[in-house]
Structure 1
Amino acid sequence: MQKNLLEIGKVVNIHGLRGDVKIQPWCDSAGFLCEFDTLYRADGTPMSVVSARAHKGMAVVRFAGIDTPEQAEALRNTVLYMNRADVELDADTYFIRDLIGLQVLDADTGAVYGRLEEVLETGANDVYTIRTPEGKQLLFPAIGDVVVETDLEQGIMRIRPLEGLFDDAD
């Protein structure tokens, strides 16, 4: 089941004297985090963004009603969330949260490789980690030559491993 609110970052410090906060992004970039008009607390309370900018890998954000360093300090260590409805993803782009737990099947034979348990962000392309029913860990690149289909509704991912990719898994 998909959650509507997804973690996007954490308030790590205050910035300046006007109540701005620094947010460590837990998303693609600080710039992406700065695109939202509203962020949310864990309990679903909306926080209106007055201004936001990327600065040295962090997002510097001013929220409505937070006007002093003391008010900003009270937000330290607050995990912030975004509403998935506020983002339109490109085709074949998914939230990592939605991929975790998918059953991974062979696209040709239907054989079960296991469940996707982790997404490693390597720079060139992501690498997916599967845990087999026997408890072994398998890794494969998240590239079009390998990932044939991702069906979030059915909870499955079909792959066609490159030759030799899982040979040493036996």
Structure 2
Amino acid sequence: MDSVASGNLLVIGKVTKAHGLKGLLRVYSYARSEEAFQGSPTVFLSKEEWENAREFHVISVAAYKNGVLLALEGISSIEMAEHLKGAEVLIEKSSIVRADDEYFWHELTGLKVFLNTGEYLGDVSGIISEKGNDIYLVRNGDREWPIPATHEVVREIDLESGTMIICPLEGMLDLNEV
């Protein structure tokens, strides 16, 4: 599919199992809320054994535990839904609705992190999703620091310049080791 090859799609979840008898899909969401799924009238499902992602029209989306229940046109039985277990759920990037202070993990990975004093700390090397807040892993050589993704600590993210400015809490970093 051209849109997959050109990078116009973003993975927002993974089908974990069928739900009920009528073909609902239980999806573990990588997004903070079901709103990411509601911004698009269609989703794409992709499995390793498929050559291309397949497009489905969204009938309904509902929050459910740590994910969503997704009803898709053409998936009307538990048997059909079971075949989709493990599929990644993707949407077109252009259909994403988000607040000004929301970012996708792929946008943050690789950002240069600076202290509010201007001192370079390292690069965002990964992100851990924890209850309540994400944690940015900032690496410099063989050192790595966990940085809570809170407004109190992360003061500025500038995707254009590829930088993040943080104001670490007292004791968070041993600056003598930076």
2:23 — aligned with what?
19
Identity rate, percent: 31
- For 1:114-134, what per-residue CA distance to the aligned partner results, in whole angstroms no more than 9, with x for missing partners? 1112223344443321011x3
Structure 1 runs of 4+ aligned residues shifted over 6 Å read none
Is this contact kept in 2: 1:34–1:54, CA < 8 A? no
Matches within 5 A, 1:1-150: 4-29=8-33, 31-32=34-35, 34-35=37-38, 36-42=40-46, 43-109=52-118, 111-132=119-140, 134-150=141-157
Q: Residue type matched to 2:10 in 1?
A: L
TM-score by structure 1 length? 0.80
2:166 — aligned with what?
159
Counterpart-to-counterpart distance in 1, 2:166 and 2:139:
15
What's the CA shift for 1:166? 1.4
Runs of 5+ unmatched residues, structure 2? 1-6, 47-51
Counterpart-to-counterpart distance in 1, 2:91 and 2:11:
6
- For 1:5-49, what per-residue CA distance to the aligned partner results, in whole angstroms no more than 9, with x for missing partners? 2222211222233222222222224x3355242211244432111
Distance of aligned partners of 1:76 and 1:169 in 2 relative to their CA distance in 1, 3 Å threshold: farther
CA-based RMSD: 2.4
Counterpart-to-counterpart distance in 2, 1:91 and 1:137:
28
Report the number of matched residues.
Answer: 165
